[in-house]
Structure 1
Amino acid sequence: MRAQALRLHRRRGVRTIQEDLIDLRGGSVPGNAIARFQNVALLSVASVLPSRVTTSDEIERRLAPSLSRLRLRSGLLRRVAGVLERRNWAEGESVDAATIAAGQRALAEAGVDASEIGLLINTSVTRAHLEPSVAVGLHHGLDLPSSAVNFDVANACLGFINGMSLAATMIESGQIRYAMVVAGEDADEIQVNTIDRLLRGDGDRDAFMSEFASLTLGSGSAAAVLGRADEHPEGHRILGGVTRAATVFHQLCVGSVDGMFTDAKALLKGGLDLVVSAWKEAAGEWDWKSMNRYITHQVSSIHTDAIVKAIHLDRSRVPTTFPRFGNIGPASVPITLVEEQATLHKGDRVLLMGVGSGLNTAMLELAW
């Protein structure tokens, strides 16, 4: 059913997307949502990665019958996405345990006791059930106080940045002193289901490519601790940023544990126009042309190169982790920041940049 809906949307998509891109450039209610923070700092960011490595070559060997039938050359994941491998949880590992471990690591690095946390926001896409929230199990595992507000924020791959902004708002308002934002992703089930379906099916190349994004997913966990800047001068100031929506594209990427179906070309085009629109309007409030690092959501080489070209970024300042880790959803941005933080120096300017299915985009500036 999802695949049929996507094909219908694709057939109707040329007219719809062209018209809606015009709306993005100057519709009746255009604009960014802007947030500024005066006294909030990122105190730490930590990650825990699975020990099992799954190479793209291994996935393509499993898909060999389908690739042969469709006459698709091997090396597709490397060539099209630039994803060489990704991580999956090994026997004895679990995403919840890893997310708890990442949270404990972040607390230790921040020098904050679990009893001081006033807010826990889980931003993961992965969830074993609809209710209760993922956050309650993490709250219990981290031994947080009963006074710590806890809930899930789900906004596809944009969730972690949204969670940081929400936590910063509550700290700035004086409601809490410390907050923790987490994300833990487990791509195993969706990849297994996708591979099984592609091997059983008799669809054409378009049907295969509509599920291609599922094959690029990876697993991992991340956590960040935020607090008051005046109490932690060693922290990294969260200055603020912008968000912007283009929800007319909400059918271009639809996913569940059964599979993720995308119209890749339309998604890239709509996402780029959204980012460019947000970037241009933000120029009136923010000077982001010469940041020391741009930590972007990790999707593929095509997406990264397109964003770099569209808004004229210095490619050497845009680190990538997708070749090794794949797309880890909302955990991609904090995990990439963890990988990069050893190279950052006091005073460096860092811009977190995300795009999430729907479509939404967010940009958040840090003063390292």
Structure 2
Amino acid sequence: MSGNANFAFDDIAIVAVSACEAPEVVTSEAMDERLSPFYQRTSAHAGILSALAGIEQRRAWPAGVSFMEAAALAGEKAIIDSGIDRSQIGLVIDTSVCRERLEPSSAVTVHNALGLPSTCMNYDLGNACLGFVNAIHLAGAMIETGQLDYVLVVDGEGTRQIHDNTISRLNEPGSTFDDLVENFASLTLGSGSAAALVGRHSQNPGSHQVVRGLFRAATEYHELCVGSLQSMKTDTAALLDAGTSLAKLAWDDANKDEWQDMDLYVLHQVSKVHTEAMIEVLGIDPARVPMTFPRFGNMGPAAVPFTLALSADQLSAGDRVLCLGIGSGLNAGLLELVW
């Protein structure tokens, strides 16, 4: 199974999954107001953000709150919810896309903030919006081989800087409608954080078993979405086509008949267009697809665990959940859970 990027676990579970909402609400109307100089000069008009993306608002952290602090907030919540003593955690992985520095890692700050022991390893794992799903897989592999007992995966994303930079750039004389199209994805991003504590299913009653999954890559599309805190330039139409095609490839390579009737499908939260396209290409029931992007925007790798955590009250013991993440590059990952 390892040769084709498929995997299965015997005794791995998510013991706790948490979401932390950034407190400041940033509506699409408020962003339209800030973009009024741009709208007055071009053929674009107010309302385009909510009309095209289906995003009515997104969140922001207060100025001065770092990405690592946001990640640690979610990590602390997951530790408390799990009931596990933090001395048992052998590794913390930070999967955040947003970074304030090249070194040291973001994980060292999270490790320190959470008061984790010196025996707890710590490092970052970056793979665009798929990083959190990758980290769950890595955590499961390390626990199942007996190297560790518990792994904490955290993610903290913030959008204040990229929003400010993008809006300022669009409002400059000379910017065109094409510039808005190229930078549109930047304005759909939202702030938030999430965390999951991974351990053995047999040792944690009430935990949520990680059954199996798979990963697929289409790296010929690595230039379709390139981002930094300064900007995120995206070929939106090409990225939509390539992303849905890769998701369909992964779906068809799996035993898709067993995934056709899951109780919940937690998809990466991008936009209305992307979600509807993914539902159509996979042929799944839209009523079983929770959507957080209309209120929180696209939170990158935090989106899947954040949506899973907010959907927990819809789930009962034994329910089957499929998580699907897609990251710029392109990479796709599917993760099957039993609640």
Same-fold status (TM-score > 0.5): yes
Deviation at 1:335, TM superposition (A): 0.7
The counterpart of 1:232, out of the listed 200, 204, 210, is 204
Deviation at 1:52, TM superposition (A): 0.6
2:169–2:175 contact (8 Å) kept in structure 1: no
Residue 78 of structure 2 aligns with which residue? 106
Work out whether 1:367 is the aligned partner of 2:338.
yes
Q: Deviations over 1:143-165 (max 9, x none)?
A: 11111111100000111000100
Looking at structure 2, the residues matched to 340 and 92 of structure 1 have their Cα atoms a distance apart, in angstroms, of 30
Work out whether 1:353 is the aligned partner of 2:329.
no
Residue 148 of structure 1 aligns with which residue? 120
Alignment RMSD:
1.3
Deviation at 1:232, TM superposition (A): 1.2
Work out whether 1:273 is the aligned partner of 2:248.
no
2:322–2:335 contact (8 Å) kept in structure 1: yes
Deviates more, 1:328-337 or 1:62-71: 62-71
Looking at structure 2, the residues matched to 91 and 303 of structure 1 have their Cα atoms a distance apart, in angstroms, of 30
- TM-score, normalisation: structure 1: 0.89
Residue 305 of structure 2 aligns with which residue? 334
1:95–1:220 contact (8 Å) kept in structure 2: no
The counterpart of 1:213, out of the listed 172, 185, 190, is 185
Deviation at 1:32, TM superposition (A): 4.9
- TM-score, normalisation: structure 2: 0.97
1:32–1:282 contact (8 Å) kept in structure 2: no
Looking at structure 1, the residues matched to 212 and 332 of structure 2 have their Cα atoms a distance apart, in angstroms, of 14
Deviates more, 1:202-211 or 1:80-89: 202-211
Percent sequence identity over aligned pairs? 47
1:32–1:278 contact (8 Å) kept in structure 2: no
Looking at structure 2, the residues matched to 153 and 181 of structure 1 have their Cα atoms a distance apart, in angstroms, of 10
1:352–1:363 contact (8 Å) kept in structure 2: yes
Deviates more, 1:85-94 or 1:292-301: 85-94
- Is the partner of 1:175 in helix, strand or coil? coil
Looking at structure 2, the residues matched to 101 and 256 of structure 1 have their Cα atoms a distance apart, in angstroms, of 23
Residue 218 of structure 2 aligns with which residue? 246
Matches within 5 A, 1:295-334: 295-334=266-305
Looking at structure 2, the residues matched to 200 and 187 of structure 1 have their Cα atoms a distance apart, in angstroms, of 20
Q: Deviations over 1:29-72 (max 9, x none)?
A: xx951010001110001121111100001001111121222211
Deviation at 1:90, TM superposition (A): 1.8
Tell me: CA distance 1:32–1:56, structure 2 relative to 1, closer, same or farther (3 Å): farther
Structure 1 residues not aligned, in runs of 5+: 1-30
Matches within 5 A, 1:129-144: 129-144=101-116
Work out whether 1:60 is the aligned partner of 2:32.
yes
Looking at structure 2, the residues matched to 172 and 213 of structure 1 have their Cα atoms a distance apart, in angstroms, of 38
Looking at structure 2, the residues matched to 32 and 329 of structure 1 have their Cα atoms a distance apart, in angstroms, of 26
Residue 93 of structure 2 aligns with which residue? 121
Letter in 1 for 2:123: F
Letter in 1 for 2:251: W
1:153–1:163 contact (8 Å) kept in structure 2: yes
Letter in 2 for 1:104: E
Matches within 5 A, 1:161-180: 161-180=133-152
Structure 2 residues not aligned, in runs of 5+: none
Looking at structure 2, the residues matched to 247 and 95 of structure 1 have their Cα atoms a distance apart, in angstroms, of 28
Deviation at 1:214, TM superposition (A): 0.2
